[in-house]
Amino acid sequence: MSSPVRNQNLNQGKTLAYCSIFTALALIFSYVEFLLPIPIPLPGVKIGVANLVIILALYRLGFKYAFTVNMVRILISGLLFSGVFGMLYSFAGGILSIVIMYILYRTKIFSMIGISMAGGVAHNIGQLLTASALLSSTALLSYFPILVFTGIISGILTGFLSYEIERRLPSHIKL
């Protein structure tokens, strides 16, 4: 018979292992996206394939761990690929995105694709507001319609891929 302390240690180890795997995958996707040419040659526009992992983490591990995975991924990828300003933009977008996705997830009204789409738009809005604040320029807000549109498209794509992966993952990968 196992003791409660032993079970707690096993659960903590399992949680740490899953968070590490999700963080590594998100970081790999960030790196691949950094290496590949952007299909839409607009500043600040990316598909955001690392968000696929964040959505799966939200569904499989819960908000606290998905938030942590996202923040660690942003920190490491910022240090490796985008620098301090890129990291600031990513933190702003990442925090707003995960909070919005979690709120929508909790309602149980929206599909994974809808949640991802809202997350993509929120991410772009967070980055745009941060850029406007850092540069003290409201002229950047004219870029808003483009970023909303690209956030919708990338969010749908990421959400669809997340949904397809989610339905194929074994059910035991869950906390």
Give the other-Cβ count within 10 Å of 34's Cβ. Answer: 13
pLDDT tens digits for 44-54?
A: 667 788 999 99
Q: Going along the chain, which residue ranges are E strands?
A: none
Quick one: pLDDT at residue 79?
A: 92
Whether the CB-CB separation of 97 and 119 falls below 8 Å is answered with yes
Give Cα separations from 39 to 36, 43, 44, 89, 154 (angstroms): 9, 11, 12, 21, 11
Of 55-59, 62-66, 130-134, the poorest mean pLDDT is in: 130-134
If residue 85 lies in a helix (H) or strand (E), which one and from where to where? helix 83-107
User: Domains of the chain (ranges plus CATH)?
Assistant: 4-168 (1.10.1760.20)
The per-residue pLDDT for 174 is: 67
Q: pLDDT tens digits, residue range 73-128? A: 999 999 988 888 889 989 999 999 999 999 999 999 999 999 999 999 999 999 98
